[in-house]
């Protein structure tokens, strides 16, 4: 984090031909007020020193005994290091105190309960603001309606998206799809008239950081594009864990503001049947290690087997089982035996909680060799100004720090990349076999490969380059373009091979839209 911030400040000074202090003031002007907490750093930055040296001087970076020295940039000249070590050159006590104070803020008695609630919310993927406890919220971020359909009455636990209508919603909207009341012409409730027998169903994603749609805006660290407008979305991004589920491939519902366009399974299901409005849940998490989703389903999944509509559940942990930041990465990957146990455990839980008539789609793991092949020799946003940081350097830096999102794929070691893909294929075959052989009472189950190859082909036909399908800042996650293209490929496969999953088209869609307008959008 220190290297990132210092790099941006130094490049701002270079780009605007200003002092470091002026560059830091400019950056602080860009950032929304409550995030302006970096003013101490200016006294520790010298334009002649690169970010690695500055951060080591601040003692925010260190070299552990017996471990390699982790650096993003090439080492500086010797005389610069000598200057750096002089006691009068830098004052770093204030910054150290700032960081230490931040890390211990939860020890403050009045904030302890709030911190515990935040930990509970993050651990169980539940809305922070949910007054009736039905796992749906009227607040967008902090696991609110960016992640799940918006609640339309947060004081009534029996009112939430995805439930079957109460008395056909003649008097109020119990399932938050905006359809309620009685047609004065014939006395029939609108919900009964338009949605009865319409095969309504919601969509639930059990995913990882790719499913949550992790994204760090490149304009946050590209000084040639930086302005106050660049950071306008920073508070929202942080309160959504740097995820953008509202634009994602499975549960996206808002027009993208991060490039590309939004196309999602939810939007297509809603277009196919307007009664599906707001019936979405994105239960994904940003972790870079194998995850057994079964334990947190009991806290996170909002589906009542007796009261709610069926759901399409997408099980898509496309990389976590082979991705970690460990030095001996192969030893920390999920084995086929573990994969079988974890997935079957999750499916059994779903079978005991999903309404009858639901569907589960298992998505295979991605072949992550695509990342190195298309990015390693390109310049990262931090390196574009001076042509001094490639993705290969970034990957090595993160790997050295043991925080790489995927040591097995983000490496110059071709043998390791191949072994990682080999394990990913083995785990995908486990999923394929589960879909072929396992049977459940309340849902049928399908398998599909992660459509990376088809997505790349489709993008090439549109005149695009493969590297544009990867998030530019982390060099790891699918980009907004990849997410939107992937939706179309998944939809076409479902239409041709599993039409029962998508349900039939509602012939009353136009009438519904003509009579009812979304009440406040999502």
Q: Residue 249 sits in a domain of what CATH number?
A: 3.40.50.1110
User: SS3 of 379, please?
Assistant: strand
Q: Which portions of the chain are predicted below pLDDT 50? A: 39, 78-103, 518-522
Q: What is the DSSP letter of 470?
A: B
Residue 326 lies in a domain: yes
In degrees, rounded to 5, the angle at the alpha carbon of residue 343 between the alpha carbons of residues 342 and 347 is 120
The two tokens of residue 204 are 């639930």
Q: Which helix (H) or strand (E) holds 362?
A: strand 358-363
- Strands laid side by side in the 358-363 sheet: 280-284, 202-207, 311-316, 358-363, 443-448
In degrees, rounded to 5, the angle at the alpha carbon of residue 423 between the alpha carbons of residues 417 and 425 is 105
Domain boundary among 44, 73, 102: 73
Residue 328 lies in a domain: yes
Q: Quote the CA–CA distance of 282 and 264 in Å, as a whole number.
A: 12
Domain count, the chain: 2
Question: Could you tell me if 445 and 362 are in contact, meaning their C-beta atoms sit under 8 angstroms apart?
Answer: yes
Domain boundary among 54, 73, 92: 73
| Long-range CB contacts (within 8 A, 24+) of 61-68 | 61/2, 61/3, 68/400
User: SS3 of 343, please?
Assistant: helix
Sign of the CA dihedral 269, 211, 494, 454? positive
Q: Quote the CA–CA distance of 57 and 44 in Å, as a whole number.
A: 8
Question: Could you tell me if 478 and 471 are in contact, meaning their C-beta atoms sit under 8 angstroms apart?
Answer: yes
Q: Which helix (H) or strand (E) holds 447?
A: strand 443-448
Residue 142 lies in a domain: no
Residue 384 lies in a domain: yes
Active-site annotation holds for 209:
yes
Best CA proximity match to 370, nearest among 250, 447, 465: 465
Q: Quote the CA–CA distance of 386 and 18 in Å, as a whole number.
A: 17
Question: Could you tell me if 361 and 311 are in contact, meaning their C-beta atoms sit under 8 angstroms apart?
Answer: no
| Set 7, 174, 200, 209: catalytic member | 209
Q: What is the DSSP letter of 266?
A: H
Res 520: pLDDT: 41
Q: Which residues touch 246 (CB under 8 Å, ≥6 apart)? A: 140, 146, 252, 253, 254
The neighbouring-strand residues paired with 203 are 280, 312
Q: Quote the CA–CA distance of 500 and 364 in Å, as a whole number.
A: 21
Best CA proximity match to 325, nearest among 259, 248, 408: 408
Pairing assessment for the beta strands 280-284 and 202-207 based on DSSP bridges: parallel
Best CA proximity match to 314, nearest among 184, 388, 205, 431: 205
Q: What is the pLDDT of residues 103-141, one digit of tens each?
A: 455 666 666 777 787 788 778 899 999 999 999 999 999
Residue 375 lies in a domain: yes
Residue 147 lies in a domain: no
What domain range is 276 assigned to? 200-516
Instruction: Phi first, then psi: give them for residue 435, nearest 5 degrees.
Output: -65, -30
Q: Quote the CA–CA distance of 215 and 486 in Å, as a whole number.
A: 17
Q: Quote the CA–CA distance of 315 and 440 in Å, as a whole number.
A: 15
Question: Could you tell me if 442 and 354 are in contact, meaning their C-beta atoms sit under 8 angstroms apart?
Answer: yes
223-239 exposure pattern, b = at least 16 Cβ within 10 A, e = fewer: beebeeebbebbeebeb
Q: Quote the CA–CA distance of 196 and 210 in Å, as a whole number.
A: 35
Domain boundary among 53, 73, 93: 73
From residue 367, alpha-carbon distances to 311, 373, 405 in Å are: 28, 11, 15
Res 105: pLDDT: 55
Q: Quote the CA–CA distance of 45 and 221 in Å, as a whole number.
A: 17
Instruction: Phi first, then psi: give them for residue 167, nearest 5 degrees.
Output: 55, 40
Best CA proximity match to 459, nearest among 434, 503, 417, 489: 489
259 dihedral zone (left: phi>0; alpha: psi -120 to 50; beta):
left
Q: Quote the CA–CA distance of 209 and 482 in Å, as a whole number.
A: 14
The two tokens of residue 457 are 């082909």
Q: How long a stretch of residues is the chain?
A: 522
Res 272: pLDDT: 97
User: SS3 of 148, please?
Assistant: strand
- CB-based burial label for 98 (10 Å; 0-12, 13-18, 19+): middle
Question: Could you tell me if 355 and 308 are in contact, meaning their C-beta atoms sit under 8 angstroms apart?
Answer: yes
Residue 101 lies in a domain: no
SS3 string, 14-62, reads HHCCCCHHHHHHHHHHHCCHHHCCCHHHHHHCCCCCCHHHHHHHCCCCC
The two tokens of residue 62 are 């260190």
Res 79: pLDDT: 42
Residue 8 lies in a domain: yes
């Amino acid at each position: 984090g220190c290297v990132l911030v210092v790099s941006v400040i130094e490049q701002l000074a270079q780009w605007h031909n200003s002092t470091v202090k002026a560059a830091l003031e400019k950056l602080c002007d860009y950032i929304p007020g409550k995030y302006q907490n970096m003013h101490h750093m200016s006294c520790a930055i010298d334009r002649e020193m690169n970010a690695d040296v500055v951060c080591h001087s601040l003692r925010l970076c260190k070299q552990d005994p017996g471990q390699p020295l982790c650096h993003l940039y090439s080492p500086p000249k010797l005389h610069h290091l000598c200057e750096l070590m002089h006691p009068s050159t830098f004052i770093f006590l204030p910054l150290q105190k700032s960081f230490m104070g931040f890390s211990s803020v939860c020890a403050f008695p009045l904030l302890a309960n709030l911190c515990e609630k935040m930990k509970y919310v993050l651990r169980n993927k539940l809305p922070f603001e949910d007054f009736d406890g039905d796992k749906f919220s009227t607040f967008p971020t902090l696991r609110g309606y960016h992640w799940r359909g918006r609640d339309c009455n947060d004081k009534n636990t029996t009112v939430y998206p995805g439930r079957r209508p109460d008395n056909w919603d003649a008097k109020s909207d119990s399932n938050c799809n905006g359809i309620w009341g009685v047609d004065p012409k014939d006395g029939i409730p609108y919900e009964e008239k338009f949605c009865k027998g319409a095969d309504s169903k919601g969509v639930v994603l059990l995913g990882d950081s790719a499913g949550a749609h992790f994204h760090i805006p490149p304009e946050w660290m590209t000084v040639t594009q930086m302005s106050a407008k660049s950071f306008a979305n920073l508070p929202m991004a942080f309160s959504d864990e740097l995820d953008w589920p509202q634009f994602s491939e499975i549960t996206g519902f808002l027009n993208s503001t991060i490039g590309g366009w939004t196309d999602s399974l939810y939007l297509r299901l809603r277009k196919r049947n307007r009664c599906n409005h707001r019936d979405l849940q994105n239960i994904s998490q940003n972790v870079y290690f194998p995850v057994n989703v079964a334990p947190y389903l009991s806290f996170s999944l909002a589906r009542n087997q007796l009261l709610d509509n069926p759901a399409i559940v997408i099980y898509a942990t496309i990389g976590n089982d082979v991705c970690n930041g460990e030095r001996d990465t192969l030893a920390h990957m999920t084995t086929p035996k573990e994969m079988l146990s974890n997935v079957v455990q999750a499916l059994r839980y779903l079978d005991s909680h999903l309404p009858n008539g639901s569907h589960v789609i298992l998505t295979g793991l991605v072949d992550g060799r695509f990342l190195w092949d298309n990015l390693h020799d390109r310049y990262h946003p931090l390196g574009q100004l001076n042509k001094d940081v490639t993705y290969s350097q970034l990957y090595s830096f993160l790997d050295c720090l043991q925080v790489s999102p995927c040591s097995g794929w983000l490496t110059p070691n071709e043998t390791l990349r191949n072994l990682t893909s080999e394990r990913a294929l083995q785990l995908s075959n486990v999923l394929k076999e589960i879909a072929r052989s396992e049977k459940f009472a309340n849902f049928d189950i399908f398998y599909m490969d992660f459509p990376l190859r088809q997505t790349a082909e489709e993008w090439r036909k549109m005149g695009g380059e493969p590297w544009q399908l990867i998030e530019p800042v982390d060099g790891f996650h699918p980009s907004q373009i990849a997410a939107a293209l992937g939706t179309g490929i998944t939809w076409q496969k479902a239409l041709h091979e599993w039409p029962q999953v998508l349900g039939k088209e509602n012939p009353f869609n136009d009438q519904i839209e003509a009579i009812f307008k979304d009440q406040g959008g999502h």
